[in-house]
Structure 1
Amino acid sequence: MQSCFALPFLFNLQSGVLMDVKGVIADYWDKRSHTYHNDLNKLRADEHSIWVGALKDVLNGGEHLKILDLGTGPGFLALILAEIGHEVTGLDISEGMLEKARYNARARNLMIDFCLADAENLPFQDEDFDLVVSKYLLWTLPHPERAVDEWNRVLKPGGKVVLIDGVWFDPAINRWLRRNLSTLLAIVTERRNPWRFKRYYNPIKDRLPFYSGVKPHELYTLFNEAGLTNVSLKPLSEVQEFYMNCGSLSRKIIHKEPNFILTGEKIRC
């Protein structure tokens, strides 16, 4: 078991005193976890295979890998990667989300080490992992350049950072309208509470460099400055098509936005 350090989250939402942007983020996802879907154990076989296919080019064939899943949430990627035979550690800033992830892993009889920690300050030794993955995480980090430096640090030489992301809050009017339509549908059909998200994130969004969206050219710069090589990007076309065909109506609307997978490799000594 990896040892992880608890985080001192210092934010008082009732008094409106902002002491730590990461405390705000952790508090939001802790509260969101109470109503977050917990049905990953019912993950459709075709959805599972779509994601395995999307990741196959970065998994080195049938090689057994030690993988760190950052911002694991309820464990979506961690579960898939463990099921196909890899040794996985899932990390998140929210204890509430980690409880969901542990529940999901137990239900599938999977041995995954989940720990509470900060994706920008990893509690792991240098050169500890073969692969570092994250899914929809970068937009919520206040220091993305520090984060990628850390991810590179814990990689073994020749290891890879794998970042799955998209442009979520693009201010363009057509995308703004699409997001709001998706939100309205989610309120009606899925009983989500978008005002809670705005209540937490609006005061801190200016401190999140990629809040409005992660553009590929910015990511190339970020990876290169961290010392990663062989940086490459490909669209997640099959994943996007799957959710367009099989997701809820709100997800079909939001998944019109392009998603992609970016990889970078740590220099071999």
Structure 2
Amino acid sequence: MHGSPHIVSDVMTRTVVALGRGATFKEIVKTMQQWRVSAMPVVEDGTRVVGIVSEADLLPKEEFRDGDPDRRTQLRRLADLMKAGAVTAEELMTVPAVTVAQDATLAQAARLMALKKVKRLPVVDDAGVLRGIVSRADLLRVFLRDDEEIAAEVRDEVVAGLFPAPPEPIRVEVHEGVVRLTGRIDDTSLVPVAARLVRAVEGVVDVDCALAGPRRRPDLDPDLPDADTPVPPSHAGETT
């Protein structure tokens, strides 16, 4: 969608492997191996996301398999010890599930992943129904956009809007996702605005904003004072 921000539904994987609350420990491990995933959403009624089971939720069973932890470990890692004894998805899952809306922007999804320190997010609609899953790799796909496509969007959506009649044509060059703007504009206070808007275009890696102000007009008569120079008072008619 040229000129429109990409949203999660544009890049998410729509085929999602999900678990029911009653899925057993071995079922979960087998499914993860079969589908080569490290985490899966847990749903109820076949659609609504209620939790997430990840490899981290499964590992305590192996970690604490061959011995009882000391008292300090028991107090410090009570949640992990409970998972070590779990046998179903309902007992293993992390709740509440961290999900993202299908109409969220890619930037919003990326911030949520970083904040929650997760590698993937179940994608849900307004009713909490599972619609897909988005991973870190999915979010990075925007950087595969063609340089020419990025340049066209910058010209149409940023340059044309901010600088409809520049003193000189503004040139937009894109190489490996790095955008360079050159040319002259009437109002140089708009340079940081232009840089910010360009950086917000999907797929832009960096911005080199080399826009300059209008050229200074040479004085038509060098003997005349500049317009900003005060003119001395006239002494005509004075007598000495």
Q: Give the TM-score taking structure 2 as reference length.
A: 0.23
Q: Determine which structure has more spread, i.e. the larger CA radius of gyration.
A: 2
Q: Give the TM-score taking structure 1 as reference length.
A: 0.21
